[in-house]
Amino acid sequence: MSFSDWLREQCREEWDAVVGHPFAMAINSGEADMRRYLVQDFQFVDSFTALLGAAVAGADSFEARVPYGQFLGHVATTSEKTYFHRAIEALGAASAPPEPVTADFQALMDEVRHGQRYELVVAVLCVAEWSYLGWASRAARPYPDSWIHREWIELHEGPEFRAWVGFLRGELDRVGPAHREDVLDVFRRAVTLERRFFDMAL
């Protein structure tokens, strides 16, 4: 069993609750009310891009830094950022202050970024991306007619995103075992926050 698989097994109940969450399944079926969810999720963009920057700085080789830099450019300038603007405008969603779980997740991202421990940065990134692949990969084709649901699924499923998650898992497998307990603590906290975030959206 890989280290990343071991981490997931230690959080199996919470992990399964995330990837099979009723709100996530409603996204997959095109039935989720996305307004509150997207307004809150968009508030992660700044902390998430800063976390990617910390991964670039903390990685121990050029080969490891490149995928983070590439994904950072993807988030900051291409499809994901424009999706948020288009979807929030189309839904007529108003800006809102962070919900408690949003603030807690931002705080975790900022904590590991300021701590400058690469293995913990990777743990948070891995949970965020791997768990989203987990629920998006359950979507049946054809995807929903609603572009708001369909494009959100497509952003978190497909060969490129699977390769990105595979890279994160590989890095966690490589650098995490030497710091097993600390990594497990952060990984578990992130999974719990993912579940709370979907609970909030529902």
Cis peptide before 67 (omega within 30 of 0): no
- d(CA 83, CA 146) in angstroms, rounded, equals 13
pLDDT surpassing 80 at residue 74: no
pLDDT of residue 75: 74
Interval 169-197: pLDDT, tens: 999 999 999 999 999 999 999 999 999 99
CATH architecture entry for 3-201 = Up-down Bundle (1.20)
pLDDT surpassing 90 at residue 7: yes
Predicted structure pTM score = 0.95
Kindly report the number of other CB atoms within 10 A of residue 125's CB atom: 26
Quote the percentage of the chain above a pLDDT of 90.
91
181 is annotated as contributing to ligand binding? no
Average pLDDT, the chain: 95
- d(CA 17, CA 139) in angstroms, rounded, equals 16
119 is annotated as contributing to ligand binding? no
Extents of the domains making up the chain: 3-201
pLDDT of residue 79: 64
41 is annotated as contributing to ligand binding? yes
pLDDT of residue 73: 81
Active site residues: 194
From the list 51, 179, 68, 52, the residue with the least C-alpha distance to 113 is 51
